[in-house]
Homo-oligomer: A and B are copies of this chain.
Amino acid sequence: MAVRTPDPDPDWTPGPDDAPPPASAANPGWLSDIELMEARRRLPLLYVEAVPVRVDGMGQVIEVGILLRATATGQMTRTLVSGRVLYGETLRDALYRHLEKDLGPMAFPQLPPAPTPFSVAEYFPMPGVGKYHDDRQHAVSLAYVVPVTGTCDPRQDALELTWMTPGEAASAEISDDMEGGRGALLRAALASVGVLP
């Protein structure tokens, strides 16, 4: 099974209803599929990931949003909001772009004031190097917990966003469905906001 760091094709060949990433037209940081494939074999790629959450009036996390999607072979997997940082793009812009891409334009994510991630996840294509894996590439991902206040409407290849309690999100059942070992990253997210059981 091909477990992948989410980075769907439309990211690279945006359709008519996709806003181009910031500054992409004006700078050379745009890769053809072949060039990206080459880069993936030579350099660690920089990613951002987000765990969307709902908070109560006191800022306490009460629900966690997990994406459900189908792989090319029809298998169901769960994952987090995730995507590559483009050349010339700030981390905040990348985080916002991928939240909008995965949750729709009405999610109203509240990006955290602090640029420091709750964790840094290292994905390796070769087995056994770390606890996260991605058979396409070596990716390093800065992961954030992001409260969303609006309505989420997953786009692209995500079938659904499932809201669950922290306890459910931390369960072995959910972990087993998470792509690339992200169950551990999800539990680290819960721990960082004080709701890991």
A108: nearest residue on chain B (CB-CB)?
A: B57
Determine whether the beta carbon of B142 is less than 8 Å from that of A88.
no
- Known contacts being A88-B138, A138-B87, is A119 close to B44, with CB within 8 Å? no
The stretch among A5-13, A69-77, A91-99, A154-162 that forms the contact with chain B is A91-99
In A112-147, which residues have CB < 8 Å from any B CB?
A: 112-120, 122, 124, 126, 129-131, 138, 140, 142, 145, 147
Question: Pick the contact of A96 from B58, B147, B192 — CB < 8 Å?
Answer: B58
A141 to chain B, nearest CB (A): 11
Q: What residues on B are CB-neighbors of A145 within 8 Å? A: 113-114
A81 at the interface (CB under 8 A from B): no
Determine whether the beta carbon of A87 is less than 8 Å from that of B41.
yes
Question: Pick the contact of A113 from B30, B31, B59, B119 — CB < 8 Å?
Answer: B59
Determine whether the beta carbon of B184 is less than 8 Å from that of A91.
no
Determine whether the beta carbon of A86 is less than 8 Å from that of B187.
no
Q: How far is the CA of A35 from the CA of B39 in the complex (A)?
A: 10
A110: nearest residue on chain B (CB-CB)?
A: B59
A191 at the interface (CB under 8 A from B): yes
- Known contacts being A110-B110, A188-B191, A191-B187, is A92 close to B44, with CB within 8 Å? no
Some 24 contacts from A to B, beta carbons below 8 A apart, are A39-B39, A43-B45, A44-B46, A44-B86, A58-B92, A58-B93, A59-B110, A59-B111, A59-B113, A87-B138, A88-B126, A90-B129, A91-B120, A113-B147, A115-B193, A116-B116, A116-B120, A116-B192, A117-B117, A119-B191, A188-B194, A188-B196, A191-B192, A191-B196
